[in-house]
Chains A and B, each alone.
Chain A
Amino acid sequence: MPALWHSTFFLVIVLLAISRPSLASQAGNDDLQMGTEHRTYKGTENGTTNLITTLPIVTWNWQEIQFPYLVALWILVSWLCKLMLQLNPSLTSVIPESGLLICIGWVLGGIIYWADKVQTFRLQPFIFFYYLLPQIVLDSGYSMPNKLFFSNLGSILVYAVIGTCWNAATLGLALWGCWLGGAIGGIDIGLLQLLLFGSLIAAVDPVAVIAVFEEVHVNEVLYILVFGESLLNDGVTVVLFNVFNAFVSLGGAKINAVEIIKGIISFLVVAFGGSLVGVIFGLLISLLTRCTKNIQIIEPGFVFVLGYLCYLTAEMLSLSSILSCTFYGVCCQKYINANMDERSVSTVRYVMKVFANGSETIIFVFLGITAIDPSIWVWNTAFIFLTLLFIFVFRFIGVFFLTWILNQFRLVPLEFIDQVVMGYGGLRGAVAYGLVVSLDEKKYKEKNMMISTTLLVVYFTVMLQGITMKALVNWLKVKRAAQTERTLAEKIQNRTFDHILVAIEDISGQIGHNYMRDKWNNFEERWLYWLLMTPSARKSCDHIFNIFHKLNLKDAMSYVKEGERRGSLAFIRKETKIDVDFYKKFGANFSEMMPYIMTENMGSDHVPVSSILWDSMPSVCLDMHEQDLKMRESEDVNAHHLLQQHLYKGKKQHRHRYSRKHLEVNKDKNEVQEIFQRTMMSRLESFKSAKIGVTPPKKITNHLKKDQPQKMPNGKSTDNSKSHAYGDEDGEFSEGDSASGCEAADGSFPMRACRGAGIVNPAFNAEMDPMPPMQQIPPWLAATEVDSSAVVPSQRAQLRLPLTPSVRSSPRGHD
């Protein structure tokens, strides 16, 4: 808390300091033209024209430095506000951050106003549209979950186009009706102006939606619908705005069928043209990244520059710039991620987030600041109230109606609860404000009234709906059953159910089975990959190879680390792993258990008994745990804890991955990789044994090591080593249900000859003769006639040893 006050104090001082000199230099200007062309570094009024009488040691160069200084200072101030918010986490959990930023903006605006008696800083429309908005849209497009987006594209378009038109029309007409009825009072406004107002306030705002939904974890489909709608409705908003603007200029009399048709055509042109511009730029950047391998260091920069140019080009052609930027990101993500170096990809992702988050912060702070300006406030209670009411009502009506229609066609119907959240999530934001401020005062006499109303609507939706959104989602989300502590069996079973359901859904093609998608994938693979991706990137698109490669790398790394740690290769993996695991993960919980387990693990040969034997001699394991009754309890807790942490999440549980703030790094991908790899292994192994008719050994015993000197085909061993490259702890596989029907016991020794590369190696197939378990002895041991009584590296170490390039590349079939 003291930090909070200190920073507030500092901010206040800073602001006072700014406002004084800025006012002094702004002789008569109301707004600080931050992006303006009046650079005052060429001959200012009170600068160089003064005669100097002596050599100045230091001079005060405020005039020249003013513009960039203020820009930088304001950015800093906005971000400091965000920092201040984080100091008080309890507050942010109630009110969404965007709302709090607006409040801080009010405070700051108040300070400035009090200092200057006039609002020197405002959210200028062109600053907003050209400097603050592009990054946000770029980030949205780039991190858009493509698959989800396109599979819901139809619904999104329906909501964006029809929904927005509906909102705009009904709002405008309703207000007009009220005006005619005299409810709003005698203001100088007409149907067209009201329709225009309706169109600009009808649009759901992407910035606000992200900001609020970020903190409310709704399911993916709902999120993508609201978010997609907020992005795509820009096409409609821009068109409607321009059309009505033009109509107002033309005057009501000149509107006839031709103009209306032109309006519709212009909608099509703007929307599709904007998207086309985005797609073209997306192709450009993909092609570009094909060639930038040698300038990797500035590779990421191209993404941003082209993205910004895309935005500006669309603006230049009066097309929808938000649409263009969105599609730019959507189109290019896959290819540039494949083409660029990993470091560049990381850079792009992180920098995008920085820009987008930063812009969002600045926008909200300034939305607050601009409110503290009495000159713009025209308070028309009825207008404001009616607007709010109508927005709300018509949004809900629109959502329900459209959803009802869509549910006839959708693969997965939207539930009522989702619809409510969608209706409630129609937040308005800065885009509306930007549009309203850019209106021409001469044509719109009531501009100030509209500005005030817009601001109030924005505040209302962002703050009130933001605050209550979470509560609403929780409230609607069903009664929580009394949470008696679920048994382990239930937990496991629940997870199992999830996986089963997901699998059945996939099998029955319920979700995502899409003829169009298959065709697109084929097209993409044949043409686009060839065109837009570098050859090496194309290869790495081959899933299996990718995983194989990554896991090899990872294992090689951990192998080297272990080697360095121990100083030699004759280390015992299991022991170290336990070491690492327990301390790292469970800390105090397990430290008391650890010595116990460690000693238990040491068999007579200092080989960790448990790693190999425990299935063949289960009593060892059970005894180990049963021996200490007092540990049972802690074990109980730990068992639950362990389970919780390590169970795969399964597809359905992957909700809300697309976040502005959190870069979801890899946890899901690792899981996916792991499962995929494991599945492939077991399938290949079953395929192989189906071909050869070998039933894998059911149990392994400790004697295995002793019976070694058996030559085995090198190819097989290298394959084995590769197959375990991914560091299965105990070197075991669960071959639950291989197609050949072999009942794999859990102790089954993992040296099935499986290659991760997904190609059955004819070489080792050919040389496979049905061998007893001895076959699994790696050749180096065989060759060197290891004395089995000596300290032998654990099975896993053996498996891992051959991860050196020399062994890996050794010719197949060499004995």
Chain B
Amino acid sequence: MGSRASSLLREEEIEEIKKETGFSHSQITRLYSRFTSLDKGENGTLGREDFQRIPELAINPLGDRIINAFFPEGEDQVNFRGFMRTLAHFRPIEDNEKNKDPTASEPLNSRINKLLFAFQLYDLDRDDKISRDELLQVLRMMVLRMMVGVNISDEQLGSIADRTIQEADQNGDNSISFNEFIKVLEKVDVEQKMSIRFLH
């Protein structure tokens, strides 16, 4: 596994990915071997079925949406660069990065970008607003509904969605824009909650 992986990934590519995403060399190689192990068709790209083969994702309420987030708009296959780009959102924010040159383009794992990722999970139609319906969809996915006797009805969910939007909405358009989203979560430690430690 290891030798095959590094032979297929050229050095220049690794360098480029490193620059773009900020992962270290060994992290990239390790993730590449993961990529290839998921890529059963061995064509260098992953399709949705490849992701769906991961059993734990089937029992994740947001699994399918997250899979979707890997695929750029309208496409059905994602290559390794795209894979890394998405994963890069979850790199922990290192301290030295915080002092970086503010004029440089925002690194992929900055707070804003992390929040953008989360926002886009809700906002399927990409109109930069989370409407009540979209919120409700997500709520429905995340809520216990089938246990006997403990069900939450749709009105209740609807009222929760309404209240949530009320709390966040500032300009009164009954939906949450990205800025409102950011504002609502300003107290939440997004850097920590949206980061996983990638292995070296």
A→B interface (CB under 8 Å): 411-413, 484, 487-490, 492-510, 512-513, 515, 551, 554, 558, 577-578, 580-581, 584-585, 597, 610-611, 614-615, 618, 621-622, 624-625, 635-636, 639, 642-643, 645-648, 650-651, 667, 670-672, 674-676, 678-680, 682-683, 726-730, 732, 734, 736-739, 741, 743-746
Most B Cβ at <10 Å: residue of A411, A651, A679, A726: A679
Q: How far is the CA of A283 from the CA of B5 in the complex (A)?
A: 39
B140–A732 CB distance below 8 A: yes
CB-based contact B144/A494 at 8 Å: no
A515 partner residues in chain B, CB cutoff 8 A: 1
**Interface contact B142-A580, CB-CB below 8 Å:** no
Q: Is the interface of A mostly helix, strand, loop or mixed?
A: helix
A683: contacting residue among B38, B60, B64, B164, CB under 8 A? B64
The 9 closest A-B pairs by CB, nearest first: A506-B56, A734-B140, A509-B34, A497-B193, A734-B137, A488-B164, A503-B66, A646-B152, A737-B68
User: Given A558-B148, A577-B153, A622-B162, A675–B185 Cβ distance below 8 Å?
Assistant: no
28 A-B contact pairs sorted by A residue (CB < 8 Å): A411-B199, A487-B184, A488-B160, A488-B167, A496-B118, A497-B193, A500-B121, A503-B60, A504-B87, A504-B196, A507-B87, A508-B196, A510-B199, A554-B148, A558-B148, A580-B149, A625-B159, A635-B163, A647-B142, A648-B144, A672-B59, A675-B63, A679-B64, A729-B145, A729-B151, A739-B76, A743-B124, A746-B137
Residues 130-148 of chain B, each 1 if its beta carbon lies under 8 Å from chain A, else 0: 0011001111111111111
Smallest Cβ distance from A35 to chain B, in angstroms? 48
User: Nearest chain B CB to A643's CB is how many angstroms away?
Assistant: 6
Q: Which of B124, B155, B199 interacts with A737 by CB under 8 Å?
A: B124
Q: Mark B73-106, 1 if CB is under 8 A from A, else 0.
A: 0101000000000010010000000000000000
Q: How far is the CA of A794 from the CA of B52 in the complex (A)?
A: 34
**Once the chains are docked, how many angstroms separate the CA of A667 from the CA of B158?**
24
A726 touches B146 (CB 8 A): yes
Asked, given contacts A493-B118, A635-B159, whether A501 binds B154 with beta carbons under 8 Å apart, the answer is no
Contact across chains for A499 and B142 when beta carbons are under 8 A apart: yes
A496 CB contacts on chain B under 8 angstroms: 62, 118, 121, 138, 142
Say yes or no: A585 contacts B150, CB within 8 Å: yes
Q: Known: A622-B162, A674-B144, A675-B59. Is A508-B64 also a contact (CB below 8 A)?
A: no
Q: Are B154 and A504 in contact (CB under 8 A)?
A: no
Residues of B at the A interface (CB closer than 8 Å) are 1, 31, 34, 37-38, 48, 51-52, 54, 56-68, 70, 74, 76, 87, 90, 118, 121, 124-125, 132-133, 136-156, 158-160, 162-164, 167-168, 176, 184-185, 187-188, 190, 193-194, 196-199
Q: Indicate which residue in B31, B136, B143, B167 contacts A646 across the interface (CB closer than 8 Å).
A: B143
Complex interface: chain B residues within 8 A of A741 (CB)? 74
Q: Is the CB of B90 within 8 A of A490?
A: no
A508 touches B159 (CB 8 A): no
Report the nearest A residue to B71, measured CB to CB.
A739
Number of A-B contacts (CB under 8 A): 231
Q: Once the chains are docked, how many angstroms separate the CA of A585 from the CA of B147? A: 13
Known: A597-B155, A647-B143. Is A682-B121 also a contact (CB below 8 A)?
Answer: no
A676–B34 CB distance below 8 A: no
On whether the beta carbons of B198 and A581 are closer than 8 Å, the reply is: no
Q: Which chain A residues border B168 with CB–CB below 8 Å?
A: 487, 489
A187 → chain B closest CB, angstroms:
51
- CB of A668 to closest CB in B, whole Å: 10
> Which of A489, A647, A683 meets B52, CB within 8 Å?
A683
Note all chain B residues with C-beta closer than 8 A to A650: 60-61
Can you name the residue of chain A whose Cβ is closest to the Cβ of B160? A639
Instruction: Report yes or no: A488 in contact with B163, Cβ–Cβ below 8 A.
Output: yes
Give, as a whole number of angstroms, the nearest-CB distance from A19 to chain B.
52
Option from A558, A642, A676, A682 in Cβ contact (under 8 Å) with B156? A642
Given contact pairs A492-B164, A499-B60, A506 touches B139 in the complex (Cβ within 8 A): no
Q: How far is the CB of B198 from chain A (nearest CB, A)?
A: 7
Q: Which residues of B contact A639 (CB under 8 A)?
A: 156, 159-160, 163
Given A497-B194, A499-B61, A670-B146, verify A618-B154 contact (CB < 8 Å): no
